[in-house]
Amino acid sequence: MKHFTLDAHMTAAIGGAFYPTGHSLVMFPNAEDANRVGHALIDSCGFAGDEVYLIPPATVLAEIAPTVKDADALLPSAGTDGATVRAYTKLAREGHTALLVKTKDAAAAARLMEAVRKAPYSIAQRYRTLVIEDL
């Protein structure tokens, strides 16, 4: 699994909220489940190690949560990106751990969710161009 560092390609062009197009983010109440699912994605589900990020709650709070502080400042967001980040923030404050996984198409998202559904998870979102999809 890859170390997560927020970079510009993971934020929306307008407002700057977290919006990693071509990826899915799943949060788990239990860090061990997130780690186990992340390794299963690499070991048996066809994902490369550099396509899976394990994101501890502290990193969600330090890097992802701040992306919405100014996202709605000038005009309210037309989408749900700010609200989605606020949901991640709430879960991270409760200790939930995230996996960010490259899901370039529906087949990759289906493979992801097949592995994810083997553990309790709290939220799963797929980021496509102009659409955040519940998984």
Query: Does residue 3 lie in a domain region?
Result: no
pLDDT at 71: 46
> pLDDT confidence of 130, banded at 50, 70, 90?
confident
The answer to whether the beta carbons of residues 81 and 19 sit under 8 Å apart is yes
pLDDT at 79: 59
Range of the domain at 82: 8-134
Query: Does residue 41 lie in a domain region?
Result: yes
* pLDDT (tens digit per residue) in 23-80: 999 999 999 999 999 999 999 999 999 999 999 999 999 999 999 875 444 444 445 7
Q: Say what the pTM is.
A: 0.91
Query: Does residue 95 lie in a domain region?
Result: yes
Handedness of CA 34, 37, 125, 103 (dihedral sign): positive
Strand order in the sheet with 23-28: 52-55, 97-102, 23-28, 123-128, 131-134
Which CATH number does the domain housing residue 95 bear? Answer: 3.30.70
Which residues are 2's β-sheet partners? 53
| Other residues' Cβ atoms within 10 Å of the Cβ of residue 39 | 15
Cα–Cα dist 49/35, whole Å? 13
Q: How many domains does the chain have?
A: 1
* pLDDT (tens digit per residue) in 92-124: 999 999 999 999 999 999 999 999 999 999 999
Extract the tokens encoding 120: 């309790």
Cα–Cα dist 7/100, whole Å? 13
Q: Is residue 7 packed enough to be buried (19+ CB in 10 Å), middle (13-18) or exposed (0-12)?
A: exposed
Local structure of residue 7 (DSSP, 8 states)? -
H/E element holding 80? none
Query: Does residue 2 lie in a domain region?
Result: no
